[in-house]
Amino acid sequence: MKKESSLRAFISIIGSPFLRPAALRSTLSVFRNFFFLQYKAAWRPGRYPVTRVDHPLDEKIPFTPAKVEIYLDFIHFFIRTQDFLIQNFKKRSVTRQTLPSSFMEHEKKFIEALGAVYVKAAEVYAKNFSTTNRPKYLAKFRFMVIHAFDPHLMCIPSLHVMVVILTYTRFRRIIADMGEEQAFASEIDAVRQHALAITEAVLYVKQHSINCISAAMYAMTSFDDLFHSEEAEAFARDLFINANDISKTDAEAIRNHIVHLYMQFLDQARMSGSDSRSAYSWEKPLLDFLATMPQI
């Protein structure tokens, strides 16, 4: 996937009358539901509830500034997968009449889903913001940018994790629907592995707690059939399996907690008698969890 280009994908999408409206809507959703919503709270401290969501096991993950490049790659990661799909499937699937093809419909829905994920997460943020203990590390320029532009108030659920889960699951589904799952098996695995690496990076750079990972996984299960409970548990079980800076005992404890809390959210949604897909009730387990944590 290293030969894929974010710039080429951007040009292809913006240059397509069929894809451009979806891209513009998703971009607007990102600004409205992340930047605007977060800055509104940051500029008016004390007006909105903010909860601290750290977990003791977070301390077992060493602060690793070198992981910041991977952490910041999550949107470029999403865009590069678009480039791969467009370069491999667009030409072969467009009809002679240049009408939107099956692939282009898939691609449009993929792009629209990014904006929808931000809307989903904002349903929690709008009611209760959350934060974690973040080191004031300014030795790298990228951390200076993070501290300057990220008020760090949107931790549960983690949008980084939601976006990378969306990326690898939709990427895999589109390739399967195009009948090329076997031919591109190595690319599918590479995309999933990078989704895991970004998820680990958000913990290494202390932008999130392990609680945030569980919340993001639950949010994605309520958002998309592709990330069902079996897929979610398999994803969590692959975190930190190759880490040489975390003990095997601690890594196992971290994975167990992520899975346990995820299942707790899922069970609470089911026990409430409401469908976890309901726009009116899916966020209740996360809001109930935030109510148990210390408020700032």
Residue 246 has pLDDT above 50, yes or no: yes
Residue 274 has pLDDT above 90, yes or no: no
Residue 278 has pLDDT above 90, yes or no: no
Residue 277 has pLDDT above 70, yes or no: no
Residue 280 has pLDDT above 80, yes or no: no
Band of the pLDDT at 102, cuts 50, 70, 90?
Answer: confident
Encode pLDDT of 199-223 as tens digits: 999 999 999 999 999 999 999 999 9
Residue 153 has pLDDT above 90, yes or no: yes
DSSP letters of 198-233? HHHHHHHTTSS-HHHHHHHHHHHHHH-GGG-HHHHH
Q: What is the pLDDT of residue 2?
A: 61
Into how many domains does the chain fold?
A: 1
**Exposure of 180 by Cβ count < 10 A (0-12 exposed, 13-18 middle, 19+ buried)?**
middle
What CA–CA distance (Å, rounded) separates 216 from 161?
A: 6
Angle at which helices 20-30 and 102-125 cross, to 10°: 10
235 domain residue, yes or no: yes
How far apart, in Å, are the Cα atoms of 131 and each of 153, 155, 163, 242, 293? Answer: 5, 5, 19, 28, 11
Encode pLDDT of 46-97 as tens digits: 888 999 999 999 999 999 999 999 999 999 999 999 999 999 887 665 443 3
1 domain residue, yes or no: no
Q: What is the pLDDT of residue 42?
A: 87
**Exposure of 273 by Cβ count < 10 A (0-12 exposed, 13-18 middle, 19+ buried)?**
exposed
What range defines the domain where residue 178 resides? 6-292
Least confident of 41-55, 165-179, 205-219, 250-264: 41-55
Q: Please state, rounded to an integer, the average pLDDT across all residues of the chain.
A: 92
Q: What is the pLDDT of residue 265?
A: 97
Distance, first Cα to last Cα, the chain: 42
How far apart, in Å, are the Cα atoms of 107 and each of 90, 183, 195? Answer: 9, 19, 19
Mapped to the 3 state alphabet, what secondary structure does 76-99 carry?
A: HHHHHHHHHHHHHHHHHHCCCCCC
Band of the pLDDT at 99, cuts 50, 70, 90?
Answer: very low
Q: What is the pLDDT of residue 92?
A: 63
